[in-house]
Structure 1
Amino acid sequence: MLNVSRRLTIIGAAVLALWQAPVVAEVCAVDDTGKEVCLEQPASRIAALSPGATELVWAAGAGEKVVAVVSFSDYPEAATNVPSVGSHTRMDLERLMELQPDLVIGWVTGNPPEQLEALADLGLPVFSIEPRTFEAVSHTIERLATLAGTEEEGFAEAERFRRGIARLERQYRNAEPVPVFYQVWDEPLMTVNDEHLIGKVITLCGGVNVFGDLDRLVPRISTEAVIGANPEAILAGGMGEENRHWLAHWETFPGIEATAKDNLFFIPPSLVQRPTPRMLDGSRLFCKKLDDARAKR
């Protein structure tokens, strides 16, 4: 039978071990639908249901935890090696469940609501995002880092983006205005209004969005409307990171000031059309293009 001293030593060691054992606390964050999502412990298997969500999870320092993506999730390069479960509008829910995610990152207006609801009904925590301001991009990274337990890396990246945008704001605060048309799609012809994050890039760089007052976030317009607005600069993405063919259409309208002054500029679409930290690079390029237009006055 153990003596009292020996017994107290064992009990003390056991208590010390319990005290030193890592305590995993519940993590919670409120998504962009206003829903609070709580996990018993930081996520370890994440499904990202849009290319932008994939980039944001990587930006939050949790890329190694991503087990499922959707088509066109091509950045960073490591994301191309992650299993795809379809497109953002048509997911293979059975395949997604096989990958056993413990957190799903949804896209508020991009993923079909019925599919997100089906995932929630199956017991998966769904955190829906749609950042529409520069600050919201940083805040989204911070929330994802909280849910993934990667706060150190995620919060640092969020602050890097925040400070980079602030520098551009200071640089272009008093820039001469440039009337701008941004083409987000060709058939049907589509642009953005001032409430869209791309619209905020235009404003950031001292541009004036010629369709900024339209009600819809991504309104359909006509070629005649663009001619009538007569922008001084036209910027377009295109289908692909190096595909400038959308600009060729505007080259056939020499009466537009942007065409007459050769202010038809290509912007790689993923740099401004995904609400991710790469928007800082896209904004710098966008601002440079408007500087080129100013230099031609």
Structure 2
Amino acid sequence: MMFRFFFLLLLLPALASAAPLRVISLSPHTTELAFEAGLGDNLIAVSAHSDYPPEALKLEQVANYRGINIERVVTLKPDLVLAWKGGNPDKELAKLEKLGIKVFYSNPHSLYDAADNIEKLGAWSDNPALAKARADAVRQELESIEASQQGKSKVPYFYQLSETPILTNNGEHWPQPLFSLCGGENIFADSAAPYPQVGMEQIVVRKPEAIFYPADSARPLESWQKWQAFIPAVKNNAIFAVTGDWLNRPTPRALKAVKQICAALDKVRNDPVHD
């Protein structure tokens, strides 16, 4: 009995150090990646608009477009903070690191990068093998999509990120990689601004053969109709809705958006009236 008692005393420090990891996510996409990596049960707080999976809606919010609630984050004593490099304020992230809080930076430029993020985050989970398997599944699906697009012609397209003002993205910023997978050629790829505001006259001159917009937009189809004589995409009814959350977040769900885009561009390629 005495031996068992001392054995349990020796175990106590180990049991104490095995307390669950406390994780905070500061963007919607890092919240999704955390769940994919097996860290969902470890999340104690998230950012505004962290709405997937639904379990994330139950968590306290400590960040939004205005910035990070530093005081609250510190009070929650996280072991790990997941940040969006370029999305969360650099000064506030530096302050967290200065306070001794470990920050994991995520800024995927492709879905391969997102898969790498999942695998790396899995190192903090109880089941790294599961995270690796999920990351590998994303990589395999990407390779399959790439193989299916071999030999297909490029299609010049315009992505209408917002209607008033008209915003789009250039060739180096999200969601460009998703369109590129399907052979889409961004008509504003050469823009110096990451997310330029453009005029209808600029779109007319560049003659997109397909137009995409987030499915939750108000009335994009109506606004395009008066340009039917000038824009091939409008003339040929090649205007497509893509689910916004799938398209705009660099997570595995973006693969669903890729399928929507590829199907739309194939329709354009195969349309007999296509210019």
TM beyond 0.5: yes
What's the offset of the Cα at 1:22?
11
Asked if residue 87 in structure 1 is aligned to residue 64 in structure 2, the reply is: yes
Q: Partner of 2:140 in structure 1?
A: 163
Q: Partner of 2:265 in structure 1?
A: 290
CA distance in 2, matches of 1:166, 1:148: 26
CA distance in 2, matches of 1:180, 1:208: 6
1:131 aligns to what SS in structure 2? coil
What's the offset of the Cα at 1:242?
3.4
Q: Partner of 1:118 in structure 2?
A: 95
Scaled by the length of structure 2, what TM-score is found?
Answer: 0.88
Q: Partner of 2:155 in structure 1?
A: 178
CA distance in 2, matches of 1:214, 1:107: 23
Q: Match of 1:245, as an amino acid?
A: R
Scaled by the length of structure 1, what TM-score is found?
Answer: 0.81
2:243 to 268, 272, 279: 268
Q: Could you give the per-residue CA deviations for residues 56-110 of structure 1, whole angstroms, max 9, x where no partner exists? A: 1111111111111111111111111111114143222222223221110111111
Asked if residue 250 in structure 1 is aligned to residue 227 in structure 2, the reply is: no
Q: Say what the alpha-carbon RMSD is for the aligned residues.
A: 2.7
Aligned 8 A contact 2:111 2:252 in 1 = no
Aligned 8 A contact 1:134 1:197 in 2 = no
- Structure 2 gap ranges (5+): none
CA distance in 2, matches of 1:273, 1:140: 17
Rg larger for: 1
Aligned 8 A contact 1:43 1:147 in 2 = no
- Structure 1 gap ranges (5+): 1-9, 25-39
Aligned 8 A contact 2:30 2:84 in 1 = yes
Distance change (3 Å), C-alpha of 1:22 and 1:86: closer
Q: Percent identity?
A: 31
Q: Partner of 2:123 in structure 1?
A: 146
Distance change (3 Å), C-alpha of 1:97 and 1:44: same
Q: Partner of 1:220 in structure 2?
A: 197
CA distance in 2, matches of 1:217, 1:41: 44
Q: Match of 1:250, as an amino acid?
A: W
What's the offset of the Cα at 1:124?
1.1
Task: Pick which of 242-251 and 62-71 moved more.
Answer: 242-251
Distance change (3 Å), C-alpha of 1:163 and 1:89: farther
Distance change (3 Å), C-alpha of 1:242 and 1:282: same
What's the offset of the Cα at 1:41?
7.9
Q: Match of 1:295, as an amino acid?
A: N
Q: Could you give the per-residue CA deviations for residues 14-58 of structure 1, whole angstroms, max 9, x where no partner exists? A: 6xx98x99989xxxxxxxxxxxxxxx9897111110001101111
Q: Partner of 1:34 in structure 2?
A: none
Q: Partner of 1:29 in structure 2?
A: none
2:26 to 46, 49, 58: 49
2:105 aligns to what SS in structure 1? strand
Aligned 8 A contact 1:42 1:148 in 2 = no
What's the offset of the Cα at 1:188?
3.3
**Number of residue pairs the alignment of both structures matches:** 267
Q: Match of 1:259, as an amino acid?
A: V
Aligned 8 A contact 1:43 1:102 in 2 = no
Q: Match of 1:236, as an amino acid?
A: Y
Q: Could you give the per-residue CA deviations for residues 259-290 of structure 1, whole angstroms, max 9, x where no partner exists? A: 11111111111111111011111101111111
What's the offset of the Cα at 1:142?
0.8
What's the offset of the Cα at 1:244?
4.9
